[in-house]
Amino acid sequence: MIHHQYRALHSVITLAGLLLLVPAEISLASQNQVGDPPQTPLLYRLSIPAAALHRLHVQIIDEMPQGGTVEFAIPAWSPGYYQILHYEADIEHVRAKDGSGRLLAVTHASPRVWSIDTSAQTGAPTRIVVEYDVYAHDAGLGFFGSNLDGTAKLGYINGASAFLYEVGKTQRPVRLEATLPAGWNLATPLTPMAAPAATIRPAAAGQGGPAPLRFEAENYDALIDCPLQFGQFTSTEFVSDGATFQCVCVGSADWDKARVSTVLGKIVHAGIQVFGKPAFARYVFFFHIGGKGFEGGLEHRNSTVIHLSEALKDGKSEEFQTVTAHEFFHAWNVKRLRPTGLGPFDYSQPVRTASLWWAEGVTDYYADLIVYRAGLRDKTWLLKDLADRMEELDNNPSRLRVTLEDASRKAWEGESEGFDGLSYYLKGSLVGLYFDLRLRAVSEGKYSLDDVMRLLDTEFGSKNRAYPESALLTDLASLSQTDLHTEYADLVSTGKEIDWNAALEPVGLSLHREMSSYLGVQLHQAKGEGVLIDAIETGSAAARCGLQAGDTLLAIDGDTVTFDAFKTLLADRLPRSPIQLTVLRRGSQIKLLGDSGVRYSHYQLIPSRQDADVATAMTLFLPTTAKSPIVP
Ligand SMILES: [Zn+2]
């Protein structure tokens, strides 16, 4: 995921085009084809009987269990967004019946769980049908939740918000049948089911509504990892590196399909180049333009939904390119290469991992690399963006007190961005850069972070296994043939500063920055003498001096302070030099001693040696092409 503030395929299936290809009905007989009970698919039927009322209708059909209770639940969160969400508030009218239509008792056992008593079932077990409505009113065009707009003929489903799961059985295969209002289109990365030849029959006019579209998924995780976009939208397709891509745009038709496809083609090629081949046969980009709600992107294994405020136009906007590159790289990093806990998922509670800095921050570093390697942004842009990130981190006091591990584990308390002021996107991207530089330096250009990604893919992704936290250091160390334990611990498990010049010098770059005194206060002119302190930044020089909100600062080293003179008085002092503050606190004048603090600004990455130039240094950021087998 990435939030705006920090910064599929398949074809559009038209109902008219598919009427001849799908059966109007699916019988449970198709579920009986498998004698092995664990492989019996759970069938979801989705319909839109009341778009004007923002209601989706879902039926879940299963074989009747052998007595006892069966539980269905709605997730407490949606993978990719590490926050508790309250989807249960929009699940309505949950009821259940057996194969003969007899109602079964449903108990709403806890807010997200519904228990169905099947003990009254007599005779031969047949099937159980659980059904409910979903109030689909997520802000804007839908994002983490579902949205239906009958007037605009639009609908969007993020699966976690609409599909209950059978508790304890999320790994069973599932099927989905979607029946849409006439004239509505559907785009989703779900795999369409091939209709058995024997079931193909024309839907004669006047025989009722349109036939359902049928899909299958490996399990519940895969089902809800595939968004569904309904109704009226524009779309195009292209092919790159052997995979098919669909770009769906909702909310604005202001885009040049050919140009946007060209830009997307460059992004996907640069992303795929890291791994050598795509991790999917089809991938869908969903762009939601304008409207309310979360702005940014949410990753899925073979799709992404991205909400932007601006139309796609010709695809040249920086935000469009970097957010798209970020989400696309997630198809590997966090989806295929996933830390323990992020698949299979426990949807009932927060899942904590110390590796979100790698999953999100390093992905954001790759977003920069991808748009640079794709030729969409130049070296000046890349170096400035990296330097700006360094400046932002260095001016954030939380970097000293919050570790990347903690920021990752406590994402649930930190709005899915970090914890206590430290963003794992920001510091994680820089630690990614740091280890990229280190690997390139110690291997004399042979290996880079690309090789770590490939190694993780060989060991874990390609085997559909989650990686343990220890794998990141193990793979970095094995490729570099260097003991990186201390550096890794410093950067990931402590708040130690990143030594940029040591990391940059071997590759011909250095960091230039300016320093100035900085107290870290918000203030305004007092009614009488001095300035009134409104707020103190945590960990700042002002805090070290003992300055408090509500104090009136009268003088610095004896020089009278006014609102206009404050900046000049401070600028006249060397950074981190001793200072004495004269303060009026609750009617008494007191003296505080401390230092003038420091603020870094004007960060630039520049050549460090006369024999180096930026052009040479930029080869740093190009892909490494180690094709030989990597042996850990
Ligand atoms: Zn992300």
Q: How much distance in Å is there from the Cα of 408 to the middle of ligand 1? A: 13
pLDDT digits (tens, 9 = 90+) for 143-190: 999 999 999 999 999 999 999 999 999 999 999 999 999 989 999 999
Specify the pLDDT at position 620. Answer: 79
Q: How much distance in Å is there from the Cα of 326 to the middle of ligand 1? A: 6
Q: What is the pTM of this model?
A: 0.89
Spatial contact of 233 and 152, defined as CB atoms under 8 Å apart: no
Q: How much distance in Å is there from the Cα of 1 to the middle of ligand 1? A: 3
Secondary structure (3-state) at 399: helix
For residue 25, pLDDT over 50 is answered with no
Q: How much distance in Å is there from the Cα of 532 to the middle of ligand 1? A: 41
| CA torsion angle 352 357 360 362 (round to 10) | -150
Q: How much distance in Å is there from the Cα of 625 to the middle of ligand 1? A: 25
Q: How much distance in Å is there from the Cα of 307 to the middle of ligand 1? A: 13
Spatial contact of 394 and 600, defined as CB atoms under 8 Å apart: yes
DSSP labels for 130-183? Answer: EEEEEE-B-STT-SSS-EEETTTTEEEE-GGGT--EETT-TTS-EEEEEE--TT
For residue 602, pLDDT over 80 is answered with yes
Q: Residue 165's closest CA among 56, 41, 38, 60?
A: 60
Mean pLDDT of 2-6: 84
Could you tell me the pLDDT band of residue 59, with boundaries at 50, 70 and 90? very high
Mean pLDDT of 423-449: 94
Specify the pLDDT at position 629. Answer: 43
pLDDT digits (tens, 9 = 90+) for 293-317: 999 999 999 999 999 999 999 999 9
Could you tell me the pLDDT band of residue 466, with boundaries at 50, 70 and 90? very high
CA dist., res. 450 & res. 438, Å (int): 13
Q: How much distance in Å is there from the Cα of 371 to the middle of ligand 1? A: 16
Mean pLDDT of 268-274: 97
DSSP 218: S
Spatial contact of 419 and 406, defined as CB atoms under 8 Å apart: yes
Is the four-CA dihedral 346, 334, 298, 415 of positive or negative sign?
A: positive
Q: How much distance in Å is there from the Cα of 483 to the middle of ligand 1? A: 29
Q: How much distance in Å is there from the Cα of 153 to the middle of ligand 1? A: 30
Mean pLDDT of 177-205: 73
Specify the pLDDT at position 68. Answer: 86
For residue 240, pLDDT over 80 is answered with yes
Domains in the chain and their CATH numbers? 37-197+205-226 (2.60.40.3650), 361-508+608-632 (no CATH), 518-597 (2.30.42.10)
Mean pLDDT of 112-141: 89
Please report where in the chains the tokens 């343990």 appear, as a residue: 468
Could you tell me the pLDDT band of residue 612, with boundaries at 50, 70 and 90? low
For residue 12, pLDDT over 70 is answered with no
Q: What tokens were used for 487?
A: 């550096």
Specify the pLDDT at position 209. Answer: 47
CA dist., res. 259 & res. 305, Å (int): 20
Specify the pLDDT at position 618. Answer: 64
Mean pLDDT of 107-123: 87
Q: How much distance in Å is there from the Cα of 297 to the middle of ligand 1? A: 7
| CA torsion angle 97 103 105 107 (round to 10) | 60
Q: What tokens were used for 198?
A: 């024997």
Specify the pLDDT at position 508. Answer: 84
Amino acid at 627: K
Cα 313 to its chain centre, rounded Å, is 24
Question: What is the biggest distance separating any 2 CA atoms in the chain, rounded to whole angstroms?
Answer: 94
Specify the pLDDT at position 119. Answer: 84
CA dist., res. 89 & res. 74, Å (int): 10
Cβ atoms within 10 A of the Cβ of 599, count?
A: 18
For residue 631, pLDDT over 50 is answered with no
DSSP labels for 374-396? Answer: TTSS-HHHHHHHHHHHHHHHHT-
pLDDT digits (tens, 9 = 90+) for 526-562: 888 899 999 999 888 999 999 999 999 999 999 999 9
Q: What tokens were used for 448?
A: 């880079």
Specify the pLDDT at position 615. Answer: 59
Q: How much distance in Å is there from the Cα of 249 to the middle of ligand 1? A: 20
DSSP 255: B
Q: How much distance in Å is there from the Cα of 330 to the middle of ligand 1? A: 7
Higher pLDDT, 598 or 202: 598
Report the number of secondary-structure helices (H) and strands (E) in the chain: 16, 32
Secondary structure (3-state) at 440: helix
CA dist., res. 358 & res. 434, Å (int): 12
pLDDT digits (tens, 9 = 90+) for 27-52: 333 333 334 445 689 999 999 999 99
Amino acid at 401: R
Spatial contact of 355 and 400, defined as CB atoms under 8 Å apart: no
